[in-house]
Amino acid sequence: MCGRFTLTVELSSIIKVFQVQKDNSGFAYNKRYNIAPGRNILAITQTEENREISFMRWGLIPHWAKDISIGNRLINARAETVMQKPSFKQSFLHHRCLIPADGFYEWTKQADQKFPRRITLPDQEVFAFAGIWAMWRSPQGQDIHSCSIITCVANAQMKDIHNRMPVILAGEKAYHTWLTSDNTAVLKELMQPFDGPIVVYPVSKQVNSPSNDFPSLIDEKIIYIRTWPEPY
């Protein structure tokens, strides 16, 4: 799955990499070191003329939902079933997006303790998760845009950490295809485990709390595993 990620690059880099047409004035972007579900995250969508960047709530709310809380359960969509699930099907067919990131977190268990790891791509400042989005109108008439990150089975480097990982799109060709293609077979080919090199390193347990969001969270940390009783 993907339950936390980071986006610590400048907005100008995101706009350049993803070829977004955007007037930066008034766009309240901040670097994020511990993005959690339910927060507003950046998403890139395709219009007839260009790509647009906006904030969407992480946790997809289908247009037919009666309550916003359904989004808490729909932060990820499985690549294997995204084309069949009622919550995701229409978004997959008609409302796909790119979700910029420069890393994500997963946890490993050692000696009955859970330790967070950060996963990045060694040769890319920023990349994208494959995403889908929806627009939901609240009973009060407010339009809320929300999104979900698509996940797939873990690749060889990730499988010892977690059995799933986000679908990573890396490169303009993949970005263009994901945003514009109407060929489900082609889109399915993109929803595969990332086959390039990744970097995995331990980080502070402060990542465990979604209220923590500061630069030192992404620093590499030495893991000390405490056993009890202490050996003599």
| Whether the bond into 210 is cis, omega within 30 of 0 | no
pLDDT digits (tens, 9 = 90+) for 71-98: 999 999 999 999 999 999 999 999 999 9
Catalytic residues: 2, 106
**How far apart (Å, rounded) are the C-alpha atoms in residues 41 and 44?**
10
Question: Does the residue 193 lie in any domain?
Answer: yes
HSE toward the beta carbon, residue 180, CA cutoff 13 A: 11
**Contact present, 42 and 100 (Cβ < 8 Å):** yes
Q: How far is CA 73 from the centre of its chain?
A: 15
How sure is the predictor about 113, in pLDDT bands with cuts at 50, 70 and 90? confident
pLDDT over 90 for what percent of the chain? 84
Question: Does the residue 230 lie in any domain?
Answer: no
Q: Domain limits at 71?
A: 5-218
Nearest to 11 by CA among 37, 30, 34: 30
Question: Does the residue 17 lie in any domain?
Answer: yes
pLDDT score of 232 = 42
| 111: pLDDT strictly greater than 90 | no
pLDDT score of 21 = 82
**How far apart (Å, rounded) are the C-alpha atoms in residues 202 and 102?**
16
| 24: pLDDT strictly greater than 80 | no
pLDDT score of 86 = 96
**How far apart (Å, rounded) are the C-alpha atoms in residues 57 and 49?**
24
Question: Does the residue 133 lie in any domain?
Answer: yes
Question: Does the residue 205 lie in any domain?
Answer: yes
| 225: pLDDT strictly greater than 70 | no
How sure is the predictor about 112, in pLDDT bands with cuts at 50, 70 and 90? confident
Q: Give the mean model confidence (pLDDT) for residues 154-182.
A: 95
Question: Does the residue 226 lie in any domain?
Answer: no
| 65: pLDDT strictly greater than 90 | yes
Question: Does the residue 161 lie in any domain?
Answer: yes
**How far apart (Å, rounded) are the C-alpha atoms in residues 107 and 113?**
10
Question: Does the residue 232 lie in any domain?
Answer: no
| Average pLDDT over all residues of the chain | 92
The number of folded domains in the chain is 1
Where is pLDDT greater, at 170 or 226?
170
Three-state DSSP at 35 gives strand
The CATH number of residue 155's host domain is 3.90.1680.10
